Homo-oligomer: A and B are copies of this chain.
Amino acid sequence: MKSEIKIDPRYAETDQMGIIHHSVYPVWYEMARVKFCKDIGLPFHEIEQRGVGLAMVHMELNYIKPSRFGESIKVVTSLIEFTKVRMTFKYDVYNGLDELINQGITKLVWLDKNLKPINIYKAHHDIYCLFLEQLEK
């Protein structure tokens, strides 16, 4: 499954080069993941209410073109790797002209309430199955 989210860059996210600051994209990726979880029927705050968290372990971002305040951004998200302990999301960011302006991946591990890594297959089998179904081949 591919999930999509529309984002209007905030004025506060611009910098004095007149573009959206590069540190904003990790936040957009996170919004895209949250939308992904909502789209598969398991809102992220419900995952947390079950005592499960996710920790970022690796992130890569490629900046192709700048984005600007006043245009509407689209992020397309897919799950490209998934194991019992870890998953990798891929993000394609498009500007108002539908040009690909940024691409990235994030690797996350499942955590319990004490921030210890868990095996989601064992700990919450339904969550494991739901995410596995979304894996892009």
Residues of A within 8 A of B (CB): 8, 10-12, 14-19, 21-23, 26-27, 30-31, 34, 43-46, 48, 53, 55-63, 66, 68-70, 115
Q: Is the CB of B10 within 8 A of A31?
A: yes
- Of all A-B residue pairs in the complex, the 6 with the closest CB atoms, nearest first, are A45-B70, A14-B16, A22-B56, A23-B26, A16-B18, A59-B61
Contact of A57 among B17, B48, B63 (CB under 8 A): B63
Q: Is the CB of A11 within 8 A of B34?
A: yes
Q: Please, which residue of chain B has its CB at the minimum distance from the CB of A43? A: B70
Q: Is the CB of B56 within 8 A of A59?
A: no
Q: Is the CB of B58 within 8 A of A58?
A: no
Q: Please, which residue of chain B has its CB at the minimum distance from the CB of A34? A: B11
Query: Within the complex, what minimum Cβ distance (angstroms) separates A137 from chain B?
Result: 26
Q: Please, which residue of chain B has its CB at the minimum distance from the CB of A23? A: B26
Task: List, sorted by A's number, 25 A–B pairs whose CB atoms are closer than 8 Å.
Answer: A8-B34, A10-B27, A10-B31, A10-B34, A11-B44, A12-B23, A12-B27, A14-B15, A14-B16, A16-B18, A16-B19, A16-B48, A17-B55, A17-B115, A18-B115, A22-B59, A23-B27, A44-B70, A45-B68, A55-B63, A56-B61, A58-B63, A59-B59, A59-B63, A60-B60
- Whole-angstrom CA separation of A66 from B117 in the bound complex: 13
Query: Within the complex, what minimum Cβ distance (angstroms) separates A63 from chain B?
Result: 5
